[in-house]
Amino acid sequence: MKVKVISRSTEEFTRERSQDLQRVFRSFDPSLRAQEKATEYVRALNAAKLDKIFARPFVGAMDGHIDAISCMAKNPNHLKAMFSGSMDGDIRLWDLATRRTVCRFSDHRGAVRGLTVSTDGNILISCGTDSIVRLWNVPAIKMLGSDSLSENSAKPLASYPWKHAFWGVDHQWNGNLFATVGAQVDIWDHNRSEPVNSFEWGKDTVISVKFNPGEPDMLATSARFQTRFESWTKTNAIAWNPMEPMNFTAANEDCNSYSFDARKLDEAKCVHKDHVSAVMDIDYSPTGREFVTGSYDRTVRIFQYNSGRSREIYHTKRMQRVFSVKFSCDGTYIISGSDDTNLRLWKTNASEQLGVLLPRERKKHDYHEAVKERYKHLPEVKRIVRHRHLPKPIYKASSLRRMMVEAERRKEERRRAHSAPGSNPSQPYRRRIIKEVE
């Protein structure tokens, strides 16, 4: 007679700490759980609904400026530091954790049009309509931990007057050079009172400049009615993808943003739609997987780098035209500056829980994200995830814009139908927006 003994080790089911989860053993055989997919679908549906219920993207507003916010810059050496410049010439350093002003830089006598910080985070460079480039010493990091509101005013390290007004500035990723734009593109050194080099291309005013993160000696500029490749409409801002430095995205006056490959400029890689007015500014996340845009239509939108539609839209009743947007250095928050003199702090993920999550909460969150990703193609889950409440003016303007685009498409089809074969060939919109490549 044989006797079979069932034995098990206590290590397999005993918790090491009281906070640990109890280990549960179960079979993953699908035949034993016939309702597994139906259960997971309901969980994905509930997770999508809960995301909408707990979506609270707005964190807080930072007030102090007395005129519209025209530009912003982040300190690459500190997560909490953010600089903002306004149309009245006031520049402020903000502590994002406390949403308070740390220091003021108030020597400009006109609108501040450009701000940038050196790679080491020690030098702030500003320029504006008073035709002067100013270099400032960034206050010590220990000041950012102060709980009291500081109104300290800093004095510039150097001031370099020039012949024309400036519209933008950007610092080289590695080095001591920075570029300013206006009537021409000027390359400056920290220790030189005059540009070390200047570039001109046409007679239009250059309004934005960005150095390439992968090639420190290459930069991109956009002008009033043309970029380095000539397009049909005005480009307001340019942003390079930090993870793919050969790609950049242009914020355009025609309500769209266009992603390009610098090696092949005869067509856009992707057209990012959804705004109903001019796109004023753009900035990439440090991960390079998404970017944020601010528009004249008083909204902030987040796009995936390869998606034609926005995944998120942020707006408030009091927020006016958005002139500047930035991602925080860790990609967790978005900062927007608008015409109503306020900076606003938003969460990148609207329903994300702030603070430290317990391991059990983190696992639950990851599971909900996984089931939403698995069932996102199903109609009900897709409808809930994509739905956004829009302000009535934005909703009406988007409906009107869709009607205009559809009318233009029908007009183009009729023109082609009544033309000689081959005289009016069809051309994709991504290629049609490019007027000329030199």
Model confidence pLDDT, tens digit, residues 124-141: 999 999 999 999 998 865
Averaged over 158-176, what is the pLDDT?
Answer: 90
Give me the pLDDT at residue 111, please. 92
Question: What is the average pLDDT across 195-219?
Answer: 88
The DSSP call for residue 113 is E
- Greater confidence (47 vs 200) lies with 47
Tell me what pLDDT residue 180 has. Answer: 94
Reported for 396-402, long-range contacts at CB under 8 A and 24+ positions apart, including other chains, are: 397/276, 397/277, 397/297, 398/274, 398/276, 401/255, 401/276
Write the DSSP symbol of residue 77.
T
Please work out, in degrees rounded to the nearest 5, the angle formed at the alpha carbon of residue 227 by the alpha carbons of 339 and 413. Answer: 95
Task: Please write the tens of the pLDDT for every residue from 229-259.
Answer: 445 578 899 999 999 999 999 999 989 999 9
Which range among 153-162, 371-380, 410-419 shows the weakest confidence by mean pLDDT?
153-162
- φ and ψ at 311, to 5 degrees? -90, -15
Task: Enter the tokens of residue 325.
Answer: 């947007």
Taking only the tens place, the pLDDT of each residue in 370-413 is 999 999 999 999 999 999 889 999 999 999 999 999 999 999 99
Residues 6+ apart with CB under 8 A from 2: none
Q: What is the pLDDT of residue 146?
A: 47
In terms of Cα–Cα distance, which of 268, 317, 316, 273 is closest to 293?
273
Q: How far is CA 153 from the centre of its chain?
A: 30
Q: Which 3 state secondary structure label does DSSP give 175?
A: coil
Residue 2's pLDDT is what?
Answer: 79
pLDDT score of 144: 46
**Rounded CA gap, 243 and 284, in Å?**
10
Check whether 226 has a pLDDT greater than 50: no
CA distance 39 to 117: 52
pLDDT at 231: 52
Would the pLDDT of 116 be above 90? yes
The pLDDT score that the predictor gives to residue 399 is 94
Q: Measure the CA–CA gap between 135 and 335, rounded to whole angstroms.
A: 24
Residue the block writes with tokens 């480039």: 133
Q: Which residue has the higher pLDDT, 261 or 424?
A: 261
Average pLDDT value for the chain = 88
> Which range among 104-108, 142-146, 265-269 shows the weakest confidence by mean pLDDT?
142-146
Please provide the distance, in angstroms rounded to a whole number, between the alpha carbons at the two ends of the chain: 92
Question: DSSP class of residue 227?
Answer: B
CA 64 to chain centre: 23
Name which residue leads in pLDDT, 51 or 20: 51
Q: For residue 312, what are its two tokens? A: 């998120």
For CA atoms 150, 155, 157, 161, the dihedral sign is positive
Per-residue pLDDT at 197 exceeds 70? yes
> pLDDT tens-digit profile of 297-341?
999 999 999 999 999 999 999 999 999 999 999 999 999 999 999
Per-residue tokens: 119: 């790679």
Provide the pLDDT for residue 3. 79
pLDDT above 70 (res 280):
yes
- Which one-letter amino acid corresponds to residue 135? L
pTM of the full predicted structure?
A: 0.86
Cβ atoms of 92 and 75 closer than 8 Å: no
